[in-house]
Homo-oligomer: A and B are copies of this chain.
Amino acid sequence: MPFHHTRLPNGLTIIGETSPSARSVALGYFVRTGSRDETPEEAGVSHFLEHMMFKGTPRRTAEQVNLDFDRIGSSPNAYTSEENTVYYAAGLPEYLPQMLDILSDILRPSLRDDDFDTEKKVILEEIKMYDDQPGSVAGENARRIYYGGHPLGNSVLGTLGSVGALTRDQMHAYFTRRYAANNIILSVAGNYDWDQMVAQAAAACSGWNTAEVGRTHRTECNGVGGLHVLTRPKVQQEYVLFLAGGPPADSKMRYAADTMALAVGDDTGSHLYWALIDPGLADSADCSFYENDGSGVVYASFTSELEHAERNMEIVRKVLANVQKNGLTAEELKLAKSKITSRWVRGSERPMGRMNAIASMWAYTGEYRDVDTELANYDAVTLDDVRAYLDKYPVDRLTTVAFGPGAKVAGVEGQVV
């Protein structure tokens, strides 16, 4: 599938994979900003701003944004992570001009005072709602503790205090600083004409500002270590997370890390499956690799009754220590690669999947890799590669966080949250 890329004079990057046999097209604006790019006073502004982008522009009210998408049978969507804020849509090829027009329009929002005040209430409710979800509380706190002050541990939602105190002018300043054209990638995949699309995008985005953009703290993190116990008596189950450092998104070692994590923690046939799930010792168990800009992290986790939490913690530690010492077996490596290959291919079948994949690759590495290249990269992972990855990023160098009803876990007193 042909790949193209270009850069507008103001620095906006446009990338695209064209697939003439596709029956749809997907497009997305990837803004390279998120909670890790916020100052403490701005905590939560990236996510709050993502909501505000749908509240209207000089050309459209919020209702018109929805109506205009409705007319072409599509709907826009968005998400905010620690380091990316993404706005995207998919639809029939003949409607690409309309989708591009509306998405480009909402990327320059009015940020009206009234809308800001109304939406702030929605965000504060959302923060409270997530605070009712134990899995979310456990994850947020585990990140915060593991990163020990590094901005990758910042909360995407922010706090009731930080969002409550945020002003419209602070948001506008953040927008001007981070939503500069040279910090944005437009990614398009599916059935469309590259030249026409670029001409339209250039016209729509040529007025966008350029700024000094970048990202501080692109250093690797390996966690603060230790066991940290957080207590909330009303929670029913104990949530335990184990975090270890991993390669950053632009490292070749990411393939070995991804493969190792799947062999250890996939939902069937993995080390943790056989150690915890099959014998009925825990309700869930997982191990996944997450890659970030400049740093990566491996998360292992389980949930279980409090009374079995300490025993299960020992089991997970033994599983990880064993992998650290012995690596994977040839059979395990083969199995993990075949799962990854199958999922990668199926995830690439839709333009939406490809639009996302090429944007992530480009954002992190400035490279394009087609499906076959990416499959070959996974297929090339050897037992020695896994060993070399583990030697550099030991998976038993853990920071452990427990959250749940336990007031004292493995001898550590809990802090009430």
A248 to chain B, nearest CB (A): 26
* B349 & A22 in contact (Cβ 8 Å cutoff): yes
User: Who on chain B is nearest to A341 by CB?
Assistant: B73
Q: Give the residues in chain B near A91, CB-CB below 8 Å.
A: 342, 346
* A269 & B338 in contact (Cβ 8 Å cutoff): no
Indicate which residue in B73, B338, B339 contacts A342 across the interface (CB closer than 8 Å).
B73
Q: Give the residues in chain B near A71, CB-CB below 8 Å.
A: 335, 338
Question: Would you call A66 an interface residue if the criterion is a C-beta within 8 Å of the partner chain's C-beta atoms?
Answer: yes
Question: Would you call A345 an interface residue if the criterion is a C-beta within 8 Å of the partner chain's C-beta atoms?
Answer: yes
Tell me the number of copies of this protein.
2
User: Who on chain B is nearest to A63 by CB?
Assistant: B278
Indicate which residue in B69, B92, B346 contacts A341 across the interface (CB closer than 8 Å).
B92
Question: 1/0 per residue A329-343: CB within 8 Å of B?
Answer: 000000100111111
Question: Would you call A74 an interface residue if the criterion is a C-beta within 8 Å of the partner chain's C-beta atoms?
Answer: yes
Question: Would you call A16 an interface residue if the criterion is a C-beta within 8 Å of the partner chain's C-beta atoms?
Answer: no
Indicate which residue in B23, B66, B73, B349 contacts A338 across the interface (CB closer than 8 Å).
B73
Q: Give the residues in chain B near A351, CB-CB below 8 Å.
A: 349
Given contacts A22-B349, A23-B349, A349-B351, contact A67 B340 (CB under 8 A): no
Given contacts A71-B335, A335-B70, A340-B73, contact A24 B345 (CB under 8 A): yes
Q: Give the residues in chain B near A342, CB-CB below 8 Å.
A: 24, 72-74, 91-92, 95
User: Who on chain B is nearest to A268 by CB?
Assistant: B66
User: Who on chain B is nearest to A67 by CB?
Assistant: B269
* B70 & A269 in contact (Cβ 8 Å cutoff): yes
Question: 1/0 per residue A297-340: CB within 8 Å of B?
Answer: 00000000000000000000000000000000000000100111
* B269 & A92 in contact (Cβ 8 Å cutoff): no
